[in-house]
Amino acid sequence: MSRLEAKKPSLCKTEPLTSEKVRSTLSVLKGVIASCYGPSGRLKQLHNGLGGCVCTTSQSSALLRNLSVTHPVLKVLTSSVQNHVSCFSDCGLFTAILCCNLIENIQRLDLTPATAIKLNKYLLSLCTSYLKSEACSCRIPVDFRSTHTFLSLVHSILTSKPACMLSRKETDHIGATPIGSLNPIVSTTYGSVKDVCSARFGSKHFFHLLPNEATVCSLLLCSRNDTAWEELKLTCQTAMHVLQLTIKEPWVLLGGGCTETHLAAYVRHKVHHEAEAIVRDDGCSQAKLHVAAEAFCSALESVAGSLEHDGGEILIDMKYGHLWSCQADSASVGNWSDTLSRCGCGLYNSQEELNWSVLRSTYHPFAPQTCLPQAALGSASNLTVDCFTAKLSGLQAAVETANLILDLSYVIEDKN
């Protein structure tokens, strides 16, 4: 009879985030994820050491599914992001980068976990309340009378996935308005109507014509190799899910990093001018509130800064709080208006009377303009936009996951 091996005792570690190994591993994970972010993000090749196919991707769902993490803290983070992506399909990289930034920034502060968590929750509530308010100038209503906003949303998703290997013409083709036929349409192709009912989408009411036969729509995707084909399939699934979410909540957020920098400017200004009232309600000192707010805003700005991968300069304007990018070989601190063209989302141009500051540099808190120009509603087809529902949920998931990890006191592992 074989000898039974004695069970090993469970391994208990206190204060896991104080470990230099955990911190460095978290920093490496953030670097891997941040380098994938945005249209110019770098692709990652993941391969199992035991064999199998190679996965080339920059999407969070494929990246985290094929990336093996062993430490419990990292497993909590990746599981949270994967759960968010399974529900909303988009903004996985945004969620992961923001969560890592928050953890790293808070760890540098002389704040107890309880205080940091309480202040993070308050700052999150500031952001969510603002994003849902009518005064929010980085939220655009979807106009159901045209497909412009929907096409911009699809275009933003497609262009942010370089592994799809789509040219600009191919991207426009996938997101084009469908054409029924190039020849005169025969009356029989219209079919017959079985019933008519009323339907409501957002603020619009429509008559819904119900046909006798169910309509089947097919989307044919092809690519030059299997890697790009798999990435394209996943991207189009994301785009379709995001469109469904947008129909339920008919809003989009400005993309290109402008929502993050605008939110950071809004939170800084709010905390700077209302600190006394805030600490009276929350019971902490103004000094702790200011350092926590700076860590929170810096985390948001770092997400926006992750869009730049080629050594260019990232700026923020002092009027709207939008992000501006300048190529490394054309930076000119003395005359930014001649160097810059449009902000990250494409809403504003540099010909306006604007002042800029380098992102994450020290500047006096200012109130970003909170009145969205009427022209933005008509120019949605030229903007870079993000899904409102997915990004808002990603913001909440990032802060809540960071708070959960910051609150960890013990990690108990069963080594058997």
- What is the tens place of the pLDDT at every residue in 187-209? 666 677 888 888 887 777 777 87
- What is the tens place of the pLDDT at every residue in 249-284? 999 999 999 999 999 999 999 999 888 888 877 778
Res 414: pLDDT: 78
- What is the tens place of the pLDDT at every residue in 12-47? 877 778 888 889 999 999 999 999 999 999 999 888
Report, as an integer, the average pLDDT of 313-318.
91
Q: How far is CA 281 from the centre of its chain?
A: 31
- What is the tens place of the pLDDT at every residue in 92-145? 999 999 999 999 999 999 899 999 999 999 999 999 999 999 989 999 999 888
- What is the tens place of the pLDDT at every residue in 45-95? 888 777 677 888 999 999 999 888 888 899 999 999 999 999 999 999 999
* Domains of the chain with CATH codes: 11-141+255-413 (1.10.560.10)
Q: What pTM was estimated for this model as a whole? A: 0.87
- What is the tens place of the pLDDT at every residue in 345-382? 998 888 778 888 888 887 888 888 876 766 555 555 67
